[in-house]
């Protein structure tokens, strides 16, 4: 089903789940098991990342196609500008059209490993805004985009830049936006208010990262610019060696965060699952009164 239809027909907030293409057979088996388990919480769509840093790009298409053909779930394929000319992108999009894949999460992407900054490929695009405009010329895709309530790490003008570019993504054809994960809901609420003032009307779905391994989340957050609030450090640091305790607290904190977001009319919750299903299911099952 197309993302635009899923969104317009929704009469309650939607749950969506993000996976990355596994690199091993065991990882692949785990992915299909997770998707099977997630059926119990009825996700509106499953999104599959596109080779962060330019790796594993080829696997996204195989996975979204199999999700569509074998699971009955609606897939969303992430797509970046990394290493691709317009022609390369047009070729891949033709393959998606032929496979009946209708939803794309359009991104610029990050610099591939070994490069210190993103550079557009020859004949390629420099920004997600351009990729979104191009996508609109390539068929009837429904398009999601990324946005950053705490600012993208490269945004020289801070969050104000991200608000301006989100409006541009909407104007170029994005149907909805998914945020980078954050732990401080006030940052999201401030961002949402500011985007409204700037004329953004598409749904902005908060990205939720259940903490399962605190040291890993600290590393991720340093790279992607998400702030870990002092209260989270205080609670997680003393238990960080005990993964079971971290996971339990991670779920408790995510339930609290999601509850507050839903009570403040968030249009949905997008879970960064890191290819695990248990935390997402546990969180969702503690929010049944709101979903």
Nearer to ligand FAD, 162 or 175 (CB): 162
Nearer to ligand FAD, 128 or 279 (CB): 128
Least spacing, CB of residue 113 vs ligand FAD, in Å:
11
Euclidean distance between the first and the last CA atom of the chain, given in angstroms as a whole number: 20
Nearer to ligand FAD, 128 or 135 (CB): 128
Strand 176-181 versus strand 45-48 pairing type: unpaired
- Between vectors from CA 105 to CA 52 and to CA 138, what angle results, nearest 5°? 115
Helix (H) or strand (E) holding 160: helix 159-172
What is the Cβ-side half-sphere exposure of residue 176, based on CA atoms within 13 angstroms? 27
Q: Which residues bind ligand FAD (CB under 6 A)?
A: 49-50, 52, 78, 80, 105, 107-110, 127-129, 146, 152, 154-155, 161-162, 165, 168, 178, 180, 207
How far apart, in whole angstroms, are the C-alpha atoms of residue 57 and residue 257? 32
- Residue 73, token pair as written in the block: 């779930």
Of 5, 18, 237, 252, which is the active-site residue?
Answer: 18
18 tagged catalytic: yes
Nearer to ligand FAD, 129 or 280 (CB): 129
How far apart, in whole angstroms, are the C-alpha atoms of residue 145 and residue 177? 5
Contact call for residues 262 and 197 (beta carbons, < 8 A): no
Least spacing, CB of residue 72 vs ligand FAD, in Å:
23
How far apart, in whole angstroms, are the C-alpha atoms of residue 233 and residue 246? 12
Least spacing, CB of residue 24 vs ligand FAD, in Å:
19
Reduced DSSP (H G I as helix, E B as strand, rest coil) percent helix, strand, coil of the chain, to 5:
50, 15, 35
Least spacing, CB of residue 110 vs ligand FAD, in Å:
5
Residues identified as active-site: 18
């Amino acid at each position: 089903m197309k993302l635009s239809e899923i969104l317009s027909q929704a009469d309650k907030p939607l749950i969506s789940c993000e996976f990355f293409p596994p690199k091993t057979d065991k990882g692949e088996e785990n992915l299909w098991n997770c998707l099977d388990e997630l059926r119990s919480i009825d996700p509106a769509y499953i999104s599959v990342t596109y080779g962060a840093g330019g790796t594993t790009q080829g696997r996204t298409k195989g996975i979204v196609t199999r999700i569509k053909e074998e699971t009955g779930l609606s897939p969303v394929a992430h797509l970046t500008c990394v290493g691709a000319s317009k022609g390369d992108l047009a070729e891949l999009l033709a393959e998606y059209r032929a496979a009946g894949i209708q939803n794309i999460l359009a991104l610029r992407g990050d610099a591939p490993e070994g490069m210190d900054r993103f550079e557009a490929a020859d004949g390629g695009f420099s920004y997600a805004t351009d990729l979104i405009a191009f996508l609109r010329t390539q068929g009837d895709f429904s398009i999601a985009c990324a946005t950053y309530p705490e600012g993208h790490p490269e945004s020289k003008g801070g969050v104000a830049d991200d608000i301006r570019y989100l409006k541009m993504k909407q104007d170029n054809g994005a149907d909805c936006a998914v945020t980078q994960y954050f732990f401080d809901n006030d940052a999201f609420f401030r961002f949402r208010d500011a985007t409204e003032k700037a004329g953004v009307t598409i749904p902005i779905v908060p990205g939720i990262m259940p903490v399962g391994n605190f040291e890993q989340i600290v590393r991720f957050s340093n790279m992607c610019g998400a702030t870990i609030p002092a209260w989270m450090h205080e609670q997680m640091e003393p238990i960080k060696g005990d993964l079971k305790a971290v996971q339990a607290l991670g779920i408790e904190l995510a339930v609290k965060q999601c509850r507050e977001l839903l009570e403040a009319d968030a249009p949905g919750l997008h879970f960064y699952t890191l290819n695990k299903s248990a935390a997402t299911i546990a969180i969702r099952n503690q929010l049944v009164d709101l979903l």
